[in-house]
A = this chain, B = another copy of it.
Amino acid sequence: MQDLSRHFAETLAASQPDSLDDATVTEAHRALVNFMGVALGGADHEAMDITLKALGQFTGPGTAAVLGRRETVDMSMAGLLNGISSHIHDFDDTTPSNYIHPTSPVASALFAWAAVHPISGRDFLHAFALGFDVVTRIGDATYPNHYQAGWHSTGSIGIFGAAVAIGRLLGLDAQQMLWAIGMAGTQASGLRDNFGSMAKGFHPGHAARCGIEAAFLAQAGFNTGNTPLEGPRGFAAVTAGGMLDVDNLMDRFGSHYRFEGITYKPYPCGIVIHPTIELCSSIHAEGTAPEQVEKVELQVAPIVRDLCDQRPTRGLQGKFSIYHAAAIGLVRAQGRLSEFTDEAIADPALAAMRDRVTPVAVDGQSADSVRAIVTLKDGTVIDRFLPESLGNVKRPLSNDQLNDKFLNQITALGGDQAQQVLDACWKLGEMENVGDLVRATVPR
């Protein structure tokens, strides 16, 4: 498509809040409720303290509240911190069509904006939907090539959503929006080598921060190439082996916001090991004691081994370990934040169970499913199949389940305050100033 990026930018610059349909507004609220929960749940993670310790010297005047923290920083740094807190537990939303966590980079930037600039809920939702949609479209149009090449696309594609969302709030014209996309593309980064470390959580924060700055640079006239997405040295060529499914990218662009594929996690870890946690938990619940288990074979989708075939030595690695997923199900019958701490990894009962697990990749098997063949010491074989795990697109979390998830993970705020923030999130679209919500998250 001739001038693809330019056309893309023109559509974004012209978009108006009344383009959001009811289904988009409803799902955007669910996404933001889920986001706020994980951001507050991660706000007191040590990665946040470390970031503030290291980079606090590089923040401008503290005009922006950080979600769930008492410190104030500049808007760009707030975007970074919101992104880290909302992804550090790997508990944020996922779009299984491209394995991106789309809300974190976009909403992190937007709540940083709202901390500084008065903004109505209506405008906030519009900018959020626009950014979310852009992330999902670019993600879908370059999947699987971009992700399989080793990019953590939540960062490397998330940056486009942050830049576009902030760019729209700045009122960028089409040329400026094109430059904002150009500045986003040229800062796109994030390597999957970092899965299982704090750097993974850094990625959407860096995307939010760099996306914010991309939009401001574009507004001021910092120019870029004209073909950031489609050019022979542009984003798709350089990072996705040239894959850019233009029909997918542009299908109903500007009139339809692609929220239909979003999922919310019941467990704070890589989504492809959720079926294993759920199935192994149910085997435990049926009465199988951990000490009875001789060995466990897991038949899983190939991507499970691609992503999660690691023996963990720290909590963050446990989030990407199929061995650990089976162990916490069979030993503890649950997967909360406390199952992915350094202490949990060191738990001898979990370590012993991990050693009994063998994952087998089965071509064509859905990543939503798992088959577990558990052999007990007495020779009994338990053979179970889970076709669709909770939280995936066919078994979505209900609003009540989202509320429970929200309240159960927050340690930075008291229960009353958490409930108030939760109630406000469900009404975000009607707020006069979303900044009030940001400030309501600061621990009392």
Contact = CB atoms under 8 A, between A and B. Distances in A.
A233 B150 contact: yes
Contact of A234 (B191, B197, B231): B191
Contact of A232 (B150, B182, B216): B150
A34 to B, nearest CB: 25
A124 to B, nearest CB: 20
A50 B227 contact: no
A224 B199 CA distance: 5
Interface string A99-126: 0000000000000000000000000000
A136 interface: no
B54 A220 contact: yes
Contacts of A197: 182, 223-225
B182 A220 contact: no
Interface stretch (A71-79, A324-332, A353-361, A416-424): A71-79
Interface stretch (A56-64, A274-282, A426-434): A56-64
Nearest to A47: B222
B228 A193 contact: yes
A385 to B, nearest CB: 30
A57 B220 CA distance: 13
Contact of A187 (B58, B189, B196, B238): B189
A305 to B, nearest CB: 12
A322 interface: no
B58 A75 contact: yes
Kindly report how many copies of this chain are found in the complex they form together. 2
A443 interface: no
Interface residues of A, number: 60
Contacts of A186: 152, 155, 189-191, 193-194, 199, 202-203
A195 B203 CA distance: 26
Contacts of A224: 193-194, 197-199
Given A186-B203, A199-B182, A233-B150, A228 B54 contact: no
Interface string A379-393: 000000000000000
Contact of A238 (B50, B55, B192, B232): B192
A222 B193 CA distance: 15
B191 A228 contact: yes
A50 B217 contact: yes
B199 A223 contact: yes
Contacts of A189: 186-189
A261 B224 CA distance: 30
A185 interface: yes
A19 interface: no
A211 to B, nearest CB: 13
Interface in A51-101: 51, 53-55, 57-61, 74-77
22 contacts: A54-B219, A55-B217, A57-B75, A60-B60, A149-B238, A183-B199, A185-B193, A186-B189, A186-B193, A187-B206, A188-B191, A191-B225, A191-B228, A192-B233, A193-B224, A193-B227, A193-B232, A195-B225, A197-B223, A198-B222, A199-B223, A199-B225
Given A50-B222, A57-B60, A182-B197, 8 more contacts: A55-B76, A58-B74, A58-B77, A58-B213, A155-B186, A186-B199, A194-B224, A198-B224
